[in-house]
Amino acid sequence: MGWIVHRHGVLYAREYGWDERFEALVAGIVKDFIENYDAARERCWIAEMEGEPVGSACVVKQSRTTAKLRLLLVEPEARGRGLGKRLVHECIAFAREKGYRKLVLWTQSNLDAARAIYKSGGFKRVKTERHAEFGVKLTGEYWELRLR
């Protein structure tokens, strides 16, 4: 889980100029996941290539009927191989299997590759909101997928 926090902080700072507040957000998500983990309804995947971590995605319980996809990340050297899409499809399949009715997520409008994966997975953007939570001006996007 520490790898997830570290790599989110490093990659988003390098690629998008996001500051330490983003890494703190990720650390909080990881802390909540660990402290409130419900093995029957939540899961986290860390993808590997040649024994090294190269990607992540988590499903967390938001309510009895809604799950949230969190912490999708693919390392630069692993991109373009369908790994992000596979991680998202694992999240969708897990959420369906566990009986959730809806899978939601929050992303940013400048994350084109992730947004394309979500769209191809059937997610729909339901709301946008401008903010500067990570030290740069961004447009947050809320997406959801009806599972049944």
Q: What residues contact residue 12 under an 8 Å CB cut-off, 6+ apart? A: 18, 22, 23, 134
* Predicted confidence (pLDDT) per residue in 32-49, tens digit: 999 999 999 999 999 999
CB atoms within 10 A of CB 54: 19
What global pTM score does this model have?
0.96
The CATH code of the domain that includes 136 is 3.40.630.30
* Structural domain total, the chain: 1
- Tokens standing for 26? 């990720």
* Predicted confidence (pLDDT) per residue in 52-108, tens digit: 999 999 999 999 999 999 999 999 999 999 999 999 999 999 999 999 999 999 999
Residue 11, domain extent: 2-146
